[in-house]
Amino acid sequence: MSAAHYQLPPLLPSQQDAELARTSSRLLAACIGHGETARLRVIDGQEEIEVPVAALRMLVDILANMAEGNAINLVPIHAELTTQQAADFLGVSRPHLVGLVDKGEIPHHKAGTHRRIFFRDLLAYREKRMGKSLEALDALSEQAQQLGMGY
């Protein structure tokens, strides 16, 4: 899937959609079994549809987010993002992201003259950054305990 797919703006659910999503996410979550697949039957159809349970779990997550009024945008792991899209995902400015790319902290490739970043590489960077943040918090917490600060 191309970066253009990621550019579609997510739509905020209406209040009616949020209420329906709240109910349907609870019902669907209660129906998910422990196997690898599940079978669904749509009321208007006569056939049963077999789907991966992982897809149903994703649907439950989507519905739960809709119930909270959140907009959702699915991005395939192999999607190529522009530097602006990547910056938006990480919640940083584009110049900051370009600096990270220039330092080699986030891999990229060129599409013509434009830089592109695979979504999977952004996820890896974010996970690494979160790991470092957790290490720093643990160190601060340990230091606060040693100093008897009550944390």
Domain residue ranges in the chain: 10-67, 80-146
| DSSP conformation class of 69 | T
Quickly tell me which residue has 């790991």 as its tokens.
Answer: 131
Reply yes or no on whether the pLDDT at 110 is more than 80.
yes
Q: How far is the C-alpha of 21 from the C-alpha of 66, rounded, in Å?
A: 6
Q: Could you give the angle at which helices 94-102 and 83-90 cross, rounded to 10 degrees? A: 110
On whether the pTM is more than 0.85, the answer is no
pLDDT at 74: 82
Closest CA relative to residue 82, chosen from 111, 62, 105, 53: 111
Reply yes or no on whether the pLDDT at 151 is more than 70.
no
pLDDT at 136: 80
pLDDT at 108: 96
State the average pLDDT for the chain.
86
Reply yes or no on whether the pLDDT at 121 is more than 90.
yes
Q: How far is the C-alpha of 22 from the C-alpha of 26, rounded, in Å?
A: 7
**pLDDT (average), residues 101-110:** 96
